Every structure is written in C-alpha cells, then in structure tokens.
Amino acid sequence: MQKYRYWVAGILIILAGVFIIYFSKENEIKTVTVNENAAQTTEITEASTNEPSIIPDDDKVAITDLSAKYKELGLIDAHNHDASALKYLGMLRTWKDKGVQQVVMFGDVSEPSAILTDKFAWKAYQKYPNIIIPYFSGFDLHDPESLTVVRNNLEMGFFGLGEVVGASTMSPVVSKVAWKANDPMDGYLPQIYDIIAEYKAPILLHIDPPNGVAVAKLEQALEEHPKTIIIFGHINAYNTPEEIDRLLSKHPNLYADFFAGFSVYNVEGGNNPEQFIPVMKKFPDRFMLSTDSGYGIGSEKTAIDAMYQMLDLLDDPGLARKIAHDNLDAVIKAQPATDTQLELIRKLKQETGTIYHVENLSKAEAGQILAETN
C-alpha cells in the first residue's frame, strides 16, 4: 500500500512538471508571435522582451524599414550577449530577416558563469561559422591562470576578449560581477594586452563611468600597449562626442563600439544621435555598431533598428559600409591562423587526404575549415 502511494505521488509530480513546461513554452511562443507582428508593421513597439521598455510613447514613431534599404551592407553587430541562456537560437531568424550578417557573440561578463556562456558562444560558432564571431570573458584577471585561459582560447580560434569589465561603479548589473577590474590596468590586464597583441585579437572593454580614473588608466593601457587593439564598449553611453573625439585623436589603437540603441532610443542617451555623426565622419575607420542585445531599451530588435537609423543619419553610403561592416571585418580578418588551428588542419589532411592551402591562412579561414569538418 505504502509503495502504491509513492507511485501515485510520483506520477502526480511528473504531470505537474509537464503542465508547467507546456505553459511556459506557450508563453515563449506568444512572445515570438508578437515580435513577428511588430516587425511586419515596421513599427517600433515595446512588445518583445521581459525588460520594460523605456521608450516614451510619443517617440514610438513608425519608421520605414531601413533594414531593407541597407541590407546589402552586411551589418555586423559588434557587441552581443546572446550566448547567455542560448538566446541566439531565438535570434537567428531575426538576424536573417533584418540583414544582420554577423554577430560578435559572448554571454555573461567577467564572472564565473561566463566560462559556460563562452562555451555556448564557441558551440554557436561551430554550428554557424559564417554568422557567429565568438569572444570570451570567462577568466579572473586577478589570477595568473587567466593568462593561460586567454592564450588557450585564442589558440583555439576565439576572435577576441569581451565583454570584459575594465571598470564599473555605476552599472547596476556589471558593477557587481566577481571578476571585474578596478581599472583597465588592474590585475593581469597588462600581460593580457601583450598576449592578445601577438594574436592581433581585440579586447572589448566595458568602462563605467566613462571618465575619471577609469579613463585615465585606459589611456595608460593604450599608450603602454600600442599594438593592442582596445575597443571601448558602448563608447557613446553617458559620454559626449567631444570626449570620444579626444580619445580617438590621441590613441590610434582605440576603436569605438557605438551602441546605437542607447543614443537613438534610451531617454538617458540624450535623444540626439545626430550629435555623434561628425565624430564618426572624422574617424571613419574606427567605429563599429552594436546592439548590446538591446540592454536597457526593451528589445534587441529595436536595437537593430537603431543601428540602421544611425547608418541612415550618416547619409554617406561609403562611410555606412565601413561602420556597418568593413572596420570590424578588417580587425577580424587580420588575425592569422594559430599554431593550434594549423596543427588540427594538418591532422585533418592526414585523416581525410583533403589538401588545404595553409600558407597565409587567416584565423577566420582556418576556423571555417575546422568548423565545417567538425
């Protein structure tokens, strides 16, 4: 009798589980449907993610579908967290529809959970090598072991480090992560800058606030590591065009990740994206655009629309192409194949008999071969 009761209890628990899973799935499906409709009417709405939108009602103007107009630019999203919770799986279709050709992807930032999301980013790259550009962030920059992680991951084929927290005191989320740097010269960051310069790989740094000691230390890092490419993550967030101009003028190894959604849609972004156009025109080779997965603006789709709005504001097709695609593409393609990649390709040749031309192979080309034969 006792045994029978356990069985009944067990079955009831299983049924309850199935019930919960079914209804949570149904909610997901509903969300997707709402998003699709929003895209079809080409209207900016807040109906998409769990985050509340902070776009004021009167700013929700209908826009023409700029993604159709600029689709052939091959837009690259330079800063995207969709490895977290495998969110990218739900975004692949949107990227295709909206003409986002490639995505620099990572997940969590500068904390232990990033070790797992780095693995997700890598897996995504193995499956979609033409779309995903994997970066990683799962290392404790205060631990000498971080140097091994950085070297191993770059050898394996990751294209950059990021998002790495180079300093944070203001961000409600990022200021709390366990492995954040106090400033961009903290811990083993100087040694990390030297390693990544060998690989020509960039580091995408989160720095907040974008002034004071954090920026002084960033400038020290740029000066003391002139061969290291540092990308200032969401450089336009809580920052001025004058300050961006000053930094780019002074430091040729600094690149600017422009989080378009922040300037176009976030009320804290000043509601004046036009103010950044002159500095973009002044440094045509050093800007790239990103969504930051729609952080703080309600949805990643809206953040993609904002990238196109910035390109439209440029009103210069040549410059739009550079900022949408070419500048970041050049940073990625300049990275040579690593010894580890070449060794794997040699093994592949032995196993399959296929001839690969490995002279002057780039990391991207080697990564493509390895992903396809994986």
Binding site for Zn ion (CB under 5 A): 163, 292
- Report in angstroms the alpha-carbon separations of 367 from 8, 66, 133, 320, 341: 53, 32, 10, 28, 7
Taking the complex as a whole, the smallest distance from the CB of residue 72 to Zn ion amounts, in Å, to 27
Cβ-based nearer residue to Zn ion, 230 or 337: 230
Q: Minimal CB distance to Zn ion: which residue?
A: 292
Cβ-based nearer residue to Zn ion, 129 or 296: 296
Residue 291 · residue 300 · CB < 8 Å: yes
Residue 260 · residue 229 · CB < 8 Å: no
Cβ-based nearer residue to Zn ion, 108 or 163: 163
Paired tokens of 214: 């954090």
Residue 258 · residue 276 · CB < 8 Å: yes
Cα–Cα distance for residue pair 55/147, rounded to 1 Å: 42
Cα–Cα distance for residue pair 310/272, rounded to 1 Å: 11
Taking the complex as a whole, the smallest distance from the CB of residue 322 to Zn ion amounts, in Å, to 22
Paired tokens of 357: 């031309």
Taking the complex as a whole, the smallest distance from the CB of residue 184 to Zn ion amounts, in Å, to 16
Taking the complex as a whole, the smallest distance from the CB of residue 294 to Zn ion amounts, in Å, to 10
Matching residue, tokens 């990021």 = 162
Residue 200 · residue 334 · CB < 8 Å: yes
Taking the complex as a whole, the smallest distance from the CB of residue 91 to Zn ion amounts, in Å, to 15
Cβ-based nearer residue to Zn ion, 70 or 95: 95
Cβ-based nearer residue to Zn ion, 292 or 329: 292
